[in-house]
Amino acid sequence: MELLQSHRAEMISIAVALVAIVGGSAYYYYLTRKPKGLLDPDNFKEFKLVKRTQLSHNVANFRFALPTPTSVLGLPIGQHMSCRGKDALGEEVIKPYTPTTLDSDVGYFELVIKMYPQGRMSHHFREMREGDYLAVKGPKGRFKYQPNQVRAFGMIAGGTGITPMFQVTRAILENPDDKTNIHLIYANVTYEDILLKEELDNLASNFPNRFSVYYVLNQPPEGWDGGVGFVSKEMIGARCPAPAPDIQILRCGPPPMNKAMGAHLDDLGYAPTMQFKF
């Protein structure tokens, strides 16, 4: 009898131990389970264009499906990916783009593309139709963002340079634990060239104490009350946070603009550590 009871106690102990191991493993899996990003930094992967929305005569929003409704692209905030296509001569072209979506937008990613008449990759996007596939790889980029890494960002964007700014802005404002303030200066040639204006205006309206946007146009329409001409030192001084160890100025735009903005920032006293160029 004693032998039987001893054997039963041993079996119960083993069963309890197994339950503990299995339960512990399941709990560990639950705690550590995170969707794996689909991007590959070394190899191109193809994603299907499921919706193309024309925003203006030369700008469109492209939505690409991920394999499942819960899949995530896996692109860190502020980084970009390489897109591969063919130009008008059928030659391969690769160009970097930043999605306007975040990994919180599961199941898809979106690109807002301005298609220039002579642009090689622009030709590829101009010819893309729903059902076609785009080859991308990544992530790429030197910018690494952590919530609350600075007290405030100043952002200076030109044209399509708004896309990384928009991505970073969304990530900050949609995170209730991130208290970073954002001051954006966005320059374009005409009013029609302003990308994501409705989305930017909505963010400014929803987060009036956290986000501000100042539009600058080279060729403004009649009655325009924003900035006129090129982004000046005075505009930066008035609209961006003053130089300090806990602020950073981000800039992204055409090369001539980037060069001019770098000179303005140097003149205003922003140290190299306070500046970042996408």
Known active-site residue 252: yes
Q: What tokens were used for 229?
A: 């001409």
Strand partners, 153: 182, 248
CA distance 255 to 268: 20
At 162 the three-state DSSP class reads helix
CA distance 184 to 186: 6
Marked catalytic residue, from 80, 123, 183, 264: 80
Q: Which residues lie closer than 8 Å to 54 by C-beta, 6 or more apart? A: 60
Cα–Cα distances in Å, from 32 out to 25, 28, 35, 73, 178?
A: 10, 6, 10, 19, 22
Q: What tokens were used for 23?
A: 């339960």
Marked catalytic residue, from 100, 186, 252, 270: 252
Residue found by looking up tokens 């996408």 in the block: 278
Known active-site residue 98: yes
Marked catalytic residue, from 83, 98, 124, 183: 98
CA distance 185 to 249: 11
Known active-site residue 80: yes
Angle between helix 197-206 and helix 162-173 axes, rounded to 10 deg? 30
CA distance 155 to 185: 6
**Phi and psi dihedrals of 2, rounded to 5?**
-60, -40
At 187 the three-state DSSP class reads strand
Marked catalytic residue, from 97, 108, 186, 215: 97
| Catalytic positions | 80, 97-98, 252
